[in-house]
Protein backbone atom coordinates (compact mmCIF):
# COMPACT_ATOMS: atom_id res chain seq x y z
CA UNK A 1 0.00 0.00 0.00
CA UNK A 2 2.69 2.53 -0.19
CA UNK A 3 4.47 4.31 2.44
CA UNK A 4 3.25 6.51 5.14
CA UNK A 5 5.02 9.21 6.79
CA UNK A 6 4.97 11.78 9.49
CA UNK A 7 6.24 15.24 10.06
CA UNK A 8 9.82 16.21 9.95
CA UNK A 9 12.11 16.84 12.91
CA UNK A 10 13.45 20.18 11.81
CA UNK A 11 10.12 21.69 11.16
CA UNK A 12 8.10 20.66 8.27
CA UNK A 13 6.68 17.33 7.51
CA UNK A 14 8.71 14.58 5.99
CA UNK A 15 9.88 11.06 6.51
CA UNK A 16 12.05 8.39 5.05
CA UNK A 17 11.95 8.93 1.31
CA UNK A 18 8.89 7.00 0.15
CA UNK A 19 9.88 7.19 -3.51
CA UNK A 20 11.29 3.75 -4.33
CA UNK A 21 12.52 5.15 -7.65
CA UNK A 22 15.07 7.26 -5.82
CA UNK A 23 17.85 6.42 -3.39
CA UNK A 24 17.92 9.91 -2.00
CA UNK A 25 17.76 10.44 1.74
CA UNK A 26 15.07 12.71 3.08
CA UNK A 27 15.21 16.13 4.31
CA UNK A 28 13.07 17.82 6.95
CA UNK A 29 13.59 21.54 7.22
CA UNK A 30 14.36 24.08 9.87
CA UNK A 31 11.62 26.47 10.76
CA UNK A 32 10.97 30.14 10.26
CA UNK A 33 12.96 30.33 7.05
CA UNK A 34 11.50 31.93 3.99
CA UNK A 35 8.66 29.72 2.83
CA UNK A 36 6.77 29.86 -0.46
CA UNK A 37 3.69 32.05 -0.08
CA UNK A 38 0.51 30.27 0.95
CA UNK A 39 -2.02 29.97 -1.88
CA UNK A 40 -5.38 31.67 -1.39
CA UNK A 41 -8.11 29.06 -0.95
CA UNK A 42 -9.61 29.92 -4.34
CA UNK A 43 -6.39 28.95 -6.10
CA UNK A 44 -5.75 25.78 -4.11
CA UNK A 45 -7.80 23.47 -6.34
CA UNK A 46 -5.48 23.75 -9.31
CA UNK A 47 -2.25 24.04 -7.36
CA UNK A 48 -1.43 20.35 -7.09
CA UNK A 49 -2.22 19.78 -10.77
CA UNK A 50 0.05 22.67 -11.79
CA UNK A 51 2.80 21.53 -9.45
CA UNK A 52 2.59 17.93 -10.65
CA UNK A 53 2.78 18.97 -14.29
CA UNK A 54 5.79 21.17 -13.57
CA UNK A 55 7.54 18.29 -11.79
CA UNK A 56 6.80 15.90 -14.65
CA UNK A 57 8.03 18.39 -17.23
CA UNK A 58 11.39 18.68 -15.49
CA UNK A 59 11.94 14.93 -15.23
CA UNK A 60 13.39 12.80 -17.99
CA UNK A 61 11.37 9.69 -18.88
CA UNK A 62 13.96 7.47 -17.19
CA UNK A 63 13.63 9.14 -13.80
CA UNK A 64 9.85 9.26 -13.50
CA UNK A 65 8.03 7.22 -10.91
CA UNK A 66 8.68 3.77 -12.32
CA UNK A 67 7.30 2.01 -9.27
CA UNK A 68 4.27 4.21 -8.70
CA UNK A 69 3.26 4.11 -12.34
CA UNK A 70 2.66 0.35 -11.87
CA UNK A 71 0.41 0.88 -8.84
CA UNK A 72 -3.35 1.60 -8.58
CA UNK A 73 -2.92 5.24 -7.60
CA UNK A 74 -4.00 8.46 -9.29
CA UNK A 75 -1.59 9.08 -12.17
CA UNK A 76 -0.39 12.49 -13.30
CA UNK A 77 -1.44 11.73 -16.89
CA UNK A 78 -5.05 11.39 -15.73
CA UNK A 79 -5.26 14.79 -14.05
CA UNK A 80 -8.28 16.71 -15.24
CA UNK A 81 -9.89 13.68 -16.90
CA UNK A 82 -13.53 14.17 -15.92
CA UNK A 83 -14.52 10.77 -17.32
CA UNK A 84 -12.71 8.88 -14.55
CA UNK A 85 -15.02 7.97 -11.66
CA UNK A 86 -14.26 8.62 -8.02
CA UNK A 87 -13.74 5.54 -5.89
CA UNK A 88 -11.66 2.36 -6.10
CA UNK A 89 -9.28 2.24 -9.05
CA UNK A 90 -9.07 -1.56 -9.10
CA UNK A 91 -11.73 -3.98 -7.87
CA UNK A 92 -10.72 -6.43 -5.11
CA UNK A 93 -9.35 -9.71 -6.37
CA UNK A 94 -10.41 -13.06 -4.86
CA UNK A 95 -8.42 -13.72 -1.70
CA UNK A 96 -7.34 -17.01 -3.25
CA UNK A 97 -5.48 -14.97 -5.90
CA UNK A 98 -3.44 -13.01 -3.35
CA UNK A 99 0.16 -14.21 -3.38
CA UNK A 100 0.37 -16.59 -0.37
CA UNK A 101 4.11 -16.35 0.27
CA UNK A 102 6.25 -13.25 0.93
CA UNK A 103 8.08 -11.45 -1.84
CA UNK A 104 11.72 -12.38 -2.40
CA UNK A 105 14.39 -10.29 -0.71
CA UNK A 106 18.06 -10.20 -1.76
CA UNK A 107 19.61 -13.48 -0.60
CA UNK A 108 21.42 -12.07 2.46
CA UNK A 109 18.19 -10.69 4.01
CA UNK A 110 15.07 -12.24 5.56
CA UNK A 111 11.63 -11.04 6.63
CA UNK A 112 10.72 -10.78 10.30
CA UNK A 113 7.48 -9.85 12.02
CA UNK A 114 8.21 -7.32 14.75
CA UNK A 115 6.39 -8.03 18.01
CA UNK A 116 6.28 -4.57 19.57
CA UNK A 117 5.21 -6.08 22.92
CA UNK A 118 8.62 -7.77 23.13
CA UNK A 119 11.04 -5.37 24.83
CA UNK A 120 14.06 -6.50 22.82
CA UNK A 121 12.28 -6.19 19.46
CA UNK A 122 10.74 -2.84 20.38
CA UNK A 123 14.22 -1.67 21.36
CA UNK A 124 15.63 -2.78 18.01
CA UNK A 125 12.90 -0.89 16.13
CA UNK A 126 13.48 2.17 18.31
CA UNK A 127 17.24 2.07 17.59
CA UNK A 128 16.73 1.62 13.83
CA UNK A 129 14.36 4.59 13.65
CA UNK A 130 16.36 6.78 16.04
CA UNK A 131 19.52 6.36 13.97
CA UNK A 132 18.14 6.11 10.43
CA UNK A 133 14.73 7.75 10.14
CA UNK A 134 13.97 11.30 9.04
CA UNK A 135 16.73 13.86 9.17
CA UNK A 136 16.75 17.46 8.02
CA UNK A 137 18.87 18.76 5.14
CA UNK A 138 21.58 20.10 7.41
CA UNK A 139 21.74 16.94 9.58
CA UNK A 140 20.76 18.94 12.66
CA UNK A 141 17.63 17.05 13.79
CA UNK A 142 16.29 13.50 13.61
CA UNK A 143 12.97 12.13 14.84
CA UNK A 144 13.21 10.33 18.16
CA UNK A 145 9.99 8.33 18.55
CA UNK A 146 9.79 6.87 22.05
CA UNK A 147 9.09 3.17 22.58
CA UNK A 148 5.80 4.13 24.26
CA UNK A 149 4.84 6.18 21.20
CA UNK A 150 5.66 3.33 18.82
CA UNK A 151 3.58 0.85 20.81
CA UNK A 152 0.68 3.30 20.91
CA UNK A 153 0.93 4.09 17.20
CA UNK A 154 1.06 0.42 16.17
CA UNK A 155 -1.49 -1.12 18.56
CA UNK A 156 -4.86 0.46 17.71
CA UNK A 157 -8.03 -1.65 18.07
CA UNK A 158 -7.94 -4.63 15.74
CA UNK A 159 -4.27 -4.21 14.76
CA UNK A 160 -2.49 -6.98 12.86
CA UNK A 161 0.90 -8.00 14.19
CA UNK A 162 1.76 -9.32 10.71
CA UNK A 163 1.63 -5.73 9.41
CA UNK A 164 4.64 -4.73 11.55
CA UNK A 165 7.29 -5.87 9.10
CA UNK A 166 11.06 -5.91 9.49
CA UNK A 167 14.02 -7.01 7.41
CA UNK A 168 16.98 -8.67 9.10
CA UNK A 169 20.45 -9.63 7.90
CA UNK A 170 20.38 -13.44 7.85
CA UNK A 171 23.89 -13.90 9.22
CA UNK A 172 23.78 -11.41 12.10
CA UNK A 173 19.98 -11.10 12.63
CA UNK A 174 20.47 -7.30 12.73
CA UNK A 175 17.26 -5.37 12.00
CA UNK A 176 17.99 -3.13 8.99
CA UNK A 177 14.58 -2.09 7.62
CA UNK A 178 11.00 -1.58 8.82
CA UNK A 179 7.54 -0.71 7.51
CA UNK A 180 4.13 -0.83 9.19
CA UNK A 181 0.43 -0.74 8.59
CA UNK A 182 -2.46 -0.29 11.01
CA UNK A 183 -6.17 -0.74 10.22
CA UNK A 184 -8.47 2.26 10.03
CA UNK A 185 -11.92 3.25 8.84
CA UNK A 186 -11.75 6.36 6.73
CA UNK A 187 -14.71 8.18 5.30
CA UNK A 188 -14.37 9.68 1.82
CA UNK A 189 -17.45 11.84 1.23
CA UNK A 190 -20.28 9.41 2.13
CA UNK A 191 -18.35 6.14 1.78
CA UNK A 192 -16.74 4.54 4.84
CA UNK A 193 -13.79 2.43 3.71
CA UNK A 194 -11.61 -0.04 5.57
CA UNK A 195 -8.04 1.07 4.94
CA UNK A 196 -4.51 0.54 6.12
CA UNK A 197 -2.53 3.54 7.31
CA UNK A 198 1.06 2.94 6.22
CA UNK A 199 3.94 4.45 8.16
CA UNK A 200 7.53 4.15 9.41
CA UNK A 201 9.20 3.05 6.18
CA UNK A 202 12.83 3.06 7.22
CA UNK A 203 15.90 1.50 5.59
CA UNK A 204 19.31 1.55 7.26
CA UNK A 205 21.44 4.34 5.80
CA UNK A 206 24.07 1.91 4.52
CA UNK A 207 21.48 -0.07 2.55
CA UNK A 208 19.74 2.76 0.70
CA UNK A 209 21.18 1.55 -2.63
CA UNK A 210 19.75 -1.98 -2.26
CA UNK A 211 16.25 -0.98 -3.46
CA UNK A 212 14.58 -2.65 -0.49
CA UNK A 213 11.78 -0.05 -0.34
CA UNK A 214 9.74 -1.27 -3.35
CA UNK A 215 9.82 -4.86 -2.06
CA UNK A 216 8.79 -3.73 1.42
CA UNK A 217 5.90 -1.70 0.01
CA UNK A 218 4.73 -4.66 -2.07
CA UNK A 219 5.02 -6.97 0.95
CA UNK A 220 2.96 -4.77 3.28
CA UNK A 221 0.42 -4.44 0.45
CA UNK A 222 0.24 -8.24 0.14
CA UNK A 223 -0.32 -8.68 3.88
CA UNK A 224 -3.02 -5.99 3.90
CA UNK A 225 -4.77 -7.70 0.96
CA UNK A 226 -4.78 -10.98 2.90
CA UNK A 227 -7.15 -9.25 5.37
CA UNK A 228 -9.46 -8.30 2.49
CA UNK A 229 -8.47 -4.63 2.71
CA UNK A 230 -7.75 -2.94 -0.64
CA UNK A 231 -7.21 0.74 0.12
CA UNK A 232 -4.64 2.68 2.13
CA UNK A 233 -3.75 6.19 3.29
CA UNK A 234 -0.23 7.56 3.62
CA UNK A 235 1.70 10.82 3.54
CA UNK A 236 5.03 11.90 2.11
CA UNK A 237 7.23 14.95 1.96
CA UNK A 238 7.90 14.32 -1.75
CA UNK A 239 5.52 14.46 -4.70
CA UNK A 240 4.40 11.02 -5.88
CA UNK A 241 1.45 10.13 -8.12
CA UNK A 242 -0.84 11.83 -7.03
CA UNK A 243 -1.60 13.84 -3.85
CA UNK A 244 -5.22 14.26 -2.79
CA UNK A 245 -4.10 17.44 -1.03
CA UNK A 246 -0.93 19.21 0.05
CA UNK A 247 -0.58 20.73 3.50
CA UNK A 248 2.03 22.76 5.32
CA UNK A 249 3.27 22.48 8.90
CA UNK A 250 3.27 25.67 10.95
CA UNK A 251 5.37 26.13 14.10
CA UNK A 252 4.70 28.09 17.25
CA UNK A 253 7.76 28.83 19.37
CA UNK A 254 7.29 28.01 23.06
CA UNK A 255 10.98 28.17 24.01
CA UNK A 256 12.32 30.62 21.41
CA UNK A 257 15.81 30.94 22.91
CA UNK A 258 16.43 27.20 22.69
CA UNK A 259 14.94 26.97 19.18
CA UNK A 260 17.28 29.72 18.00
CA UNK A 261 20.29 28.29 19.88
CA UNK A 262 19.89 24.88 18.19
CA UNK A 263 19.22 26.31 14.73
CA UNK A 264 15.56 25.28 14.48
CA UNK A 265 14.58 28.90 13.92
CA UNK A 266 16.39 32.18 13.45
CA UNK A 267 16.28 35.53 15.16
CA UNK A 268 14.03 37.80 13.12
CA UNK A 269 15.30 40.91 11.40
CA UNK A 270 15.64 43.83 13.83
CA UNK A 271 14.73 41.50 16.70
CA UNK A 272 16.73 40.95 19.87
CA UNK A 273 16.53 37.75 21.90
CA UNK A 274 14.72 39.50 24.76
CA UNK A 275 12.12 41.00 22.40
CA UNK A 276 11.63 37.57 20.79
CA UNK A 277 11.07 35.94 24.18
CA UNK A 278 8.51 38.63 25.06
CA UNK A 279 6.79 38.18 21.68
CA UNK A 280 6.14 34.47 22.33
CA UNK A 281 5.32 34.76 26.03
CA UNK A 282 2.06 33.05 27.04
CA UNK A 283 -0.23 33.48 30.06
CA UNK A 284 0.63 31.41 33.13
CA UNK A 285 -2.72 29.58 33.17
CA UNK A 286 -5.56 28.66 30.83
CA UNK A 287 -8.48 31.06 30.45
CA UNK A 288 -11.44 28.86 29.43
CA UNK A 289 -13.78 27.94 32.31
CA UNK A 290 -14.10 24.15 32.60
CA UNK A 291 -10.89 23.42 30.63
CA UNK A 292 -9.51 20.16 32.01
CA UNK A 293 -7.69 16.96 31.12
CA UNK A 294 -9.74 14.25 29.38
CA UNK A 295 -10.60 11.14 31.44
CA UNK A 296 -11.87 7.66 30.59
CA UNK A 297 -15.42 8.64 31.58
CA UNK A 298 -15.36 11.30 28.84
CA UNK A 299 -14.89 8.84 25.95
CA UNK A 300 -18.60 8.63 24.90
CA UNK A 301 -19.06 12.41 24.95
CA UNK A 302 -15.78 13.08 23.10
CA UNK A 303 -16.72 10.45 20.50
CA UNK A 304 -20.07 12.12 19.83
CA UNK A 305 -18.43 15.54 19.62
CA UNK A 306 -15.67 14.34 17.31
CA UNK A 307 -17.97 12.41 14.96
CA UNK A 308 -20.25 15.41 14.60
CA UNK A 309 -17.31 17.74 13.94
CA UNK A 310 -15.46 15.50 11.47
CA UNK A 311 -18.62 15.00 9.40
CA UNK A 312 -17.94 18.42 7.83
CA UNK A 313 -14.82 17.29 5.99
CA UNK A 314 -14.46 15.39 2.71
CA UNK A 315 -11.90 12.90 4.06
CA UNK A 316 -11.86 12.05 7.78
CA UNK A 317 -11.54 9.06 10.11
CA UNK A 318 -14.68 7.21 11.19
CA UNK A 319 -13.93 6.96 14.92
CA UNK A 320 -15.96 4.87 17.35
CA UNK A 321 -15.56 4.81 21.13
CA UNK A 322 -12.79 2.19 21.10
CA UNK A 323 -10.82 4.32 18.62
CA UNK A 324 -11.28 7.45 20.72
CA UNK A 325 -10.23 5.60 23.87
CA UNK A 326 -7.06 4.37 22.17
CA UNK A 327 -6.05 7.40 20.14
CA UNK A 328 -7.17 10.28 22.35
CA UNK A 329 -7.08 9.24 26.01
CA UNK A 330 -4.05 10.93 27.64
CA UNK A 331 -0.91 8.79 27.75
CA UNK A 332 2.19 10.08 29.50
CA UNK A 333 4.71 11.57 27.05
CA UNK A 334 2.62 10.36 24.10
CA UNK A 335 -0.85 11.94 23.97
CA UNK A 336 -2.31 14.96 25.74
CA UNK A 337 -6.04 15.65 25.49
CA UNK A 338 -8.08 18.40 27.08
CA UNK A 339 -11.75 19.28 26.96
CA UNK A 340 -14.13 21.98 28.04
CA UNK A 341 -16.84 20.91 30.48
CA UNK A 342 -19.49 23.56 30.98
CA UNK A 343 -19.41 24.59 34.66
CA UNK A 344 -23.22 25.05 34.56
CA UNK A 345 -24.51 22.07 32.57
CA UNK A 346 -21.45 19.75 32.76
CA UNK A 347 -21.85 19.22 29.02
CA UNK A 348 -18.61 18.47 27.13
CA UNK A 349 -18.54 21.25 24.53
CA UNK A 350 -15.01 21.39 23.09
CA UNK A 351 -11.89 19.29 22.79
CA UNK A 352 -8.22 19.60 21.82
CA UNK A 353 -5.30 17.18 21.67
CA UNK A 354 -1.64 16.97 20.74
CA UNK A 355 0.90 14.16 20.56
CA UNK A 356 4.55 14.17 21.61
CA UNK A 357 7.24 13.60 19.01
CA UNK A 358 10.69 14.76 20.12
CA UNK A 359 13.68 15.07 17.83
CA UNK A 360 17.29 14.32 18.63
CA UNK A 361 19.42 17.43 18.27
CA UNK A 362 22.59 16.37 16.48
CA UNK A 363 26.01 17.92 17.00
CA UNK A 364 25.01 20.47 19.62
CA UNK A 365 27.03 20.78 22.81
CA UNK A 366 24.23 22.20 24.94
CA UNK A 367 21.08 20.34 23.92
CA UNK A 368 20.25 16.75 22.90
CA UNK A 369 16.45 16.75 22.53
CA UNK A 370 13.88 19.08 20.98
CA UNK A 371 10.52 18.50 22.65
CA UNK A 372 7.76 19.05 20.08
CA UNK A 373 3.98 18.88 20.41
CA UNK A 374 1.93 18.13 17.28
CA UNK A 375 -1.68 19.27 17.08
CA UNK A 376 -3.94 16.23 16.58
CA UNK A 377 -7.75 16.54 16.65
CA UNK A 378 -9.47 19.67 17.88
CA UNK A 379 -13.22 20.31 18.15
CA UNK A 380 -14.46 23.84 18.65
CA UNK A 381 -18.21 24.10 19.25
CA UNK A 382 -18.86 26.60 22.07
CA UNK A 383 -15.33 27.87 22.79
CA UNK A 384 -13.75 29.95 19.98
CA UNK A 385 -11.07 27.93 18.21
CA UNK A 386 -8.52 30.69 18.78
CA UNK A 387 -9.11 30.60 22.54
CA UNK A 388 -9.11 26.79 22.67
CA UNK A 389 -5.78 26.55 20.83
CA UNK A 390 -4.26 29.30 22.95
CA UNK A 391 -5.12 27.20 26.02
CA UNK A 392 -3.48 24.19 24.32
CA UNK A 393 -0.33 26.28 23.81
CA UNK A 394 -0.40 27.31 27.47
CA UNK A 395 -0.57 23.72 28.77
CA UNK A 396 2.14 22.65 26.29
CA UNK A 397 4.37 25.44 27.58
CA UNK A 398 3.63 24.37 31.18
CA UNK A 399 4.81 20.87 30.21
CA UNK A 400 8.11 22.25 28.87
CA UNK A 401 7.55 21.70 25.17
CA UNK A 402 9.88 23.74 22.99
CA UNK A 403 7.62 24.08 19.95
CA UNK A 404 3.99 23.42 18.99
CA UNK A 405 3.38 22.26 15.41
CA UNK A 406 0.09 22.27 13.49
CA UNK A 407 -0.95 21.42 9.94
CA UNK A 408 -3.20 23.82 8.03
CA UNK A 409 -5.95 21.17 7.84
CA UNK A 410 -9.56 21.47 9.05
CA UNK A 411 -10.08 25.01 10.39
CA UNK A 412 -6.53 25.40 11.65
CA UNK A 413 -5.69 28.15 9.19
CA UNK A 414 -8.02 30.48 11.10
CA UNK A 415 -5.75 30.62 14.18
CA UNK A 416 -2.21 30.10 12.86
CA UNK A 417 -1.13 33.67 12.20
CA UNK A 418 -3.11 35.13 15.09
CA UNK A 419 -1.41 32.77 17.56
CA UNK A 420 2.06 33.54 16.13
CA UNK A 421 2.67 30.29 14.26
CA UNK A 422 5.20 30.62 11.44
CA UNK A 423 5.07 28.57 8.23
CA UNK A 424 7.57 25.74 7.85
CA UNK A 425 9.44 25.39 4.60
CA UNK A 426 8.35 21.90 3.62
CA UNK A 427 5.07 20.39 2.55
CA UNK A 428 3.20 17.23 3.49
CA UNK A 429 1.36 15.45 0.68
CA UNK A 430 -1.57 13.14 1.46
CA UNK A 431 -2.23 10.08 -0.70
CA UNK A 432 -4.83 7.35 -1.05
CA UNK A 433 -3.91 3.97 -2.52
CA UNK A 434 -6.40 2.35 -4.90
CA UNK A 435 -8.90 5.16 -4.45
CA UNK A 436 -9.37 8.10 -6.79
CA UNK A 437 -10.55 11.54 -5.76
CA UNK A 438 -11.18 13.39 -9.00
CA UNK A 439 -10.19 16.88 -7.87
CA UNK A 440 -7.57 17.77 -5.30
CA UNK A 441 -8.92 18.91 -1.94
CA UNK A 442 -8.09 22.13 -0.14
CA UNK A 443 -6.28 21.45 3.16
CA UNK A 444 -9.37 22.84 4.92
CA UNK A 445 -11.45 19.99 3.41
CA UNK A 446 -9.23 17.36 5.05
CA UNK A 447 -10.17 16.06 8.52
CA UNK A 448 -7.47 13.38 8.75
CA UNK A 449 -4.23 13.65 10.75
CA UNK A 450 -1.73 10.81 10.27
CA UNK A 451 1.11 10.31 12.75
3-state helix, strand, coil in the chain (%, to 5): 30, 25, 45
Exactly one of 416, 428, 450, 451 is catalytic; which is it? 451
Q: Please tell me the distance from the alpha carbon of residue 51 to that of residue 184, in angstroms, as a whole number.
A: 30
Q: Please tell me the distance from the alpha carbon of residue 386 to that of residue 415, in angstroms, as a whole number.
A: 5
Contacts of residue 105, defined as CB under 8 A and 6 or more positions apart, other chains included, come to 111, 167, 212, 215
* Residue 107 CA: distances (Å) to CA of 111, 145, 220, 335: 11, 31, 19, 41
Q: Quick one: which of 284, 290, 396, 388 has its CA closest to 335?
A: 396
Q: Please tell me the distance from the alpha carbon of residue 1 to that of residue 24, in angstroms, as a whole number.
A: 21
Helix (H, G, I), strand (E, B) or coil at 365: coil
Reply yes or no: is the peptide bond before residue 242 cis, omega within 30 of 0: yes
Residue 177 and residue 216 in contact, taking contact as beta carbons nearer than 8 Å: yes
Q: Please tell me the distance from the alpha carbon of residue 64 to that of residue 58, in angstroms, as a whole number.
A: 10
Count CB neighbours of 283 within 10 A.
11
Residues in the chain: 451
Q: Please tell me the distance from the alpha carbon of residue 46 to that of residue 80, in angstroms, as a whole number.
A: 10
Residue 393 and residue 285 in contact, taking contact as beta carbons nearer than 8 Å: no
Contacts of residue 314, defined as CB under 8 A and 6 or more positions apart, other chains included, come to 188, 189, 437, 441, 445, 446, 447
In the chain the first and final C-alpha atoms are separated, in Å, by 16
Q: Quick one: which of 54, 79, 65, 53 has its CA closest to 18?
A: 65
Q: Quick one: which of 354, 361, 150 has its CA closest to 251?
A: 354
Question: Catalytic: 451?
Answer: yes
Q: Quick one: which of 200, 241, 239, 245 has its CA closest to 220?
A: 200
β-pair type (245-253, 422-433): antiparallel
Q: Quick one: which of 89, 353, 114 has its CA closest to 241?
A: 89
User: Which residues belong to the active site?
Assistant: 451
Amino acid sequence: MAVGESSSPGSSAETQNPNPDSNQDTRPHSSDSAAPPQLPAAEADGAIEMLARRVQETLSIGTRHRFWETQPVGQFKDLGDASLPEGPIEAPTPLSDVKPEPYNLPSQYEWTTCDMDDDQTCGEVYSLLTNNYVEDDENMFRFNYSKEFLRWALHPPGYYKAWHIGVRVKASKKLVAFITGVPARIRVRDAIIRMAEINFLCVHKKLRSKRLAPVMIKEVTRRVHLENIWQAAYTAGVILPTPITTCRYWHRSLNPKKLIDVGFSRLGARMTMSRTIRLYKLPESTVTPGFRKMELRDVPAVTRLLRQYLSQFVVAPDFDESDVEHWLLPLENVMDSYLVESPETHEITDFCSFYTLPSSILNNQNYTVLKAAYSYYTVSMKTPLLQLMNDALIVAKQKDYDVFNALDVMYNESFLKELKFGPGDGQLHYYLYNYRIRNALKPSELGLVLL
